[in-house]
Amino acid sequence: MQKFYKIITYGCQMNVHESEKLAGILTRLDYMPTEDEALADVIVFNTCCIRENAEQHALGNLGALKYLKAKKPSLIIALGGCMIQQDNVAKEVKKSYPFVDILFGTHNLEDFGVLLKKRLETGKKVVEIVGDKPKICENVVPFRTSYPNAWVNIMQGCNNFCTYCIVPYVRGREKSRSMQAIYSEVQKLVLLGYKEITLLGQNVNSYGKDLNDGTNFAKLIDFLQEVRGEFRLRFMTNHPKDLTEELVIAIANNKNCCHAIHLPVQAGSDEILKKMNRRYTSKDYLDKVAIIKKHLPDCAITTDIMVGFPGETEQDFLDTLNLVKKVGFASAFTFVYSPRKGTIAAEMPNQIDEAVKKDRIMRLVDLCNEQTRQFSATYLNKEITILCEDYDKKRDLYLGRDQYGRMGYFKSQENLIGEFVTIKVNSATGISLYGDIVEE
């Protein structure tokens, strides 16, 4: 009888791609995907712990599965990902969610098939969460779900220990894949017809340092010029302290590289940046922006910004607003700081009041939305090339992004998913552009 699985993913692109690896493992074991929880034989939660709300969300949804398990005892519920890598959470799950069958961490994802078999054969709960040594797994074939886009992990882990961030604790130290392995994966994907490849790492700018053979991210970008075929190359995420001019030049020289850089700034106050252990000042950040603009004048710069870090004064917050004004971001992800157990910032004095955080995030979002609108407005009446990636059934519109990351919507009688399409933009609302196909 056909067996089915459902994977529920929380968090970042990295997690979405790891879920594709889990799906690859389940596919090899002859499971088929389903959206219907009642039909599923295996439900996997791939969790994220970077912010508190992602964690609460996952636990809430997990709790709701208790009744399903009671109705269908053969259902296997697995919980994995970086949330489980935290000791206190693993303990809490074991105690309060006894119906969970398999608990696994971030470092043994590729063993999921073995853990599942063990659970099925023994009928006993399987808990395998291994330390902080990321493994580079080269033998799992992901079941990709986002054609024409494909993600390629180039490294695992992070060495930075920003004081607010849980990632280095749950994902361990940086470990890079070889340039050759990355090149082969990208080339295969392009031959298979994928049109946009996004290289993934917590800090792609420090790619290769651990290989100790002179490899660096700029060299990888250069090397990937050899890949044959028509495709776009993106990468995320960058760290301002490690972004080099050599890299920006490599991006400018690579015909496939999108002129879009996600460069998280986090804060505009030097005092707060120091407390965050970001290891750059607001001037350093602006200098990096200037380097980008020098070689890539049209580059869309996007960012992550946080408000309410411990000790953040009104003046610190105004410094953040000022920096945002100076740079003019194409778009920004904005976050309210949430203390993560085990991080240095969680123990800092002067945690900020929720009402103050709320007020600041609203003011920041207003400014960022305005910048997003301004950037979109520059597109009016222009022709842009977008990679058609989806169809919005409700609106009967196809959609896709241009190289700068802006989403464009258009009408078409033909299915154009996977094609590069030129549209003329006739309206821009916030982050979305609307246009008509330009006939060649």
Nearer to ligand 5AD, 273 or 388 (CB): 273
On the 0-12 / 13-18 / 19+ scale of CB atoms within 10 A, 293 is: middle
Enumerate residues 291-320 that contact ligand 5AD by CB under 6 A.
304, 306
- In single-letter form, the type of residue at position 91 comes to K
Work out which of 160, 238, 331, 403 binds ligand SF4, going by CB under 6 A: 160
User: Is 164 one of the binding residues for ligand 5AD (CB under 6 A)?
Assistant: yes
Nearest to 14 by CA among 47, 39, 53: 47
Task: Give how many residues touch ligand 5AD by CB under 6 A.
Answer: 12
How many Å apart are CA 220 and CA 184, to the nearest integer? 12
* Residue 351: partners with Cβ closer than 8 Å, 6 or more residues away: 310, 339
Q: Provide the minimum distance between the beta carbon of 355 and ligand 5AD in the complex, in angstroms, as a whole number.
A: 17
The pair of structure tokens assigned to 71 is: 């109705």
User: Is 340 one of the binding residues for ligand 5AD (CB under 6 A)?
Assistant: yes
How many Å apart are CA 47 and CA 58, to the nearest integer? 7
User: Is 158 one of the binding residues for ligand SF4 (CB under 6 A)?
Assistant: yes
Nearer to ligand 5AD, 42 or 327 (CB): 327
How many Å apart are CA 159 and CA 175, to the nearest integer? 10
Enumerate residues 200-239 that contact ligand SF4 by CB under 6 A.
202-203, 239
Residue 374 has phi, psi (to 5 degrees) of: -60, -45
For ligand 5AD, which stretch binds (CB under 6 A), given 98-106, 314-322, 331-339, 404-412? 331-339
How many Å apart are CA 337 and CA 360, to the nearest integer? 11
The entry of ligand SF4, ligand 5AD, none that residue 168 binds, CB within 5 to 8 Å by partner kind: ligand SF4
CB 154 within 8 A of CB 183: no
For ligand SF4, which stretch binds (CB under 6 A), given 98-106, 156-164, 249-257, 343-351? 156-164
User: Is 338 one of the binding residues for ligand 5AD (CB under 6 A)?
Assistant: yes
Angle between helices 245-253 and 282-295 (to 10 degrees): 30
The entry of ligand SF4, ligand 5AD, none that residue 338 binds, CB within 5 to 8 Å by partner kind: ligand 5AD
User: Is 165 one of the binding residues for ligand 5AD (CB under 6 A)?
Assistant: yes
For ligand SF4, which stretch binds (CB under 6 A), given 155-163, 221-229, 386-394, 423-431? 155-163
User: Is 165 one of the binding residues for ligand SF4 (CB under 6 A)?
Assistant: yes
The CA–CA distances, whole Å, from 68 to 39, 63, 314 equal 10, 10, 48
State the DSSP string of 34-69.
Answer: -S-TTT-SEEEEEE--SSHHHHHHHHHHHHTTHHHH
The entry of ligand 5AD, ligand SF4, none that residue 337 binds, CB within 5 to 8 Å by partner kind: ligand 5AD
Helices (H) and strands (E) in the chain, counts: 13, 19
Work out which of 50, 116, 190, 273 binds ligand 5AD, going by CB under 6 A: 50
| Residue position matching structure tokens 């003046």 | 315
The entry of ligand SF4, ligand 5AD, none that residue 302 binds, CB within 5 to 8 Å by partner kind: none
* Residue 14: partners with Cβ closer than 8 Å, 6 or more residues away: 153, 200, 202
Q: Which residues bind ligand 5AD (CB under 6 A)?
A: 50-51, 164-165, 264, 266, 304, 306, 335, 337-338, 340
Q: Which residues bind ligand SF4 (CB under 6 A)?
A: 158, 160-162, 165, 167-168, 202-203, 239
